[in-house]
Amino acid sequence: MPTEILTSRAVSRTKWRTVLQWIAVIGAVEIALHFFIYKEPILLMGAALWLAGFFWTRRRTRGGPVLIGVLATWEILATLFLSDEFAEGVEAPPWILVVHLVSMVVALVAAVMTIRERAPSHA
């Protein structure tokens, strides 16, 4: 049986995919917790999509990272332009918004880096 030597490229690919999977699970949990605050059923669908992205990413295809990239882009835009948390009179702690935006930017970067990697070559 041939043994596979992990090149720095393969290690990099594994790291980005792992980061992407962790962020997908964290994003799903965060969005599911928002459901208990805002009581909007669409949030549960969003959490389910993030979990679907996690499981799809585990299959080593590009579909999962693409889904997570789209979801992260939507979250960034929705947080900045559609969120009530930035409205006057709302007492949302700023650190929550910063953590959310930073985690979504990390998800987007990890998705792009995972998509950019080519499939492993078989020698």
Residue 4's SS3 state is coil
Cα–Cα distance between 19 and 26 in angstroms, integer? Answer: 11
pLDDT at 9: 56
pLDDT at 39: 80
Structure tokens at 76: 């960034």
pTM equals: 0.77
Residue-level pLDDT, tens digit, the chain, 123 residues? 444 555 555 555 578 889 999 999 998 998 888 888 778 888 889 899 999 999 998 888 888 999 999 999 998 998 888 877 666 666 767 777 888 889 899 999 999 998 887 655 544
What are the start-end ranges of the H helices in the chain? 8-38, 42-58, 63-81, 94-116
DSSP state of 41: T
Cα–Cα distance between 20 and 22 in angstroms, integer? Answer: 6
Cα–Cα distance between 6 and 56 in angstroms, integer? Answer: 23
DSSP state of 84: G
pLDDT at 8: 55
Crossing angle (nearest 10°) for helices 94-116 and 8-38: 140
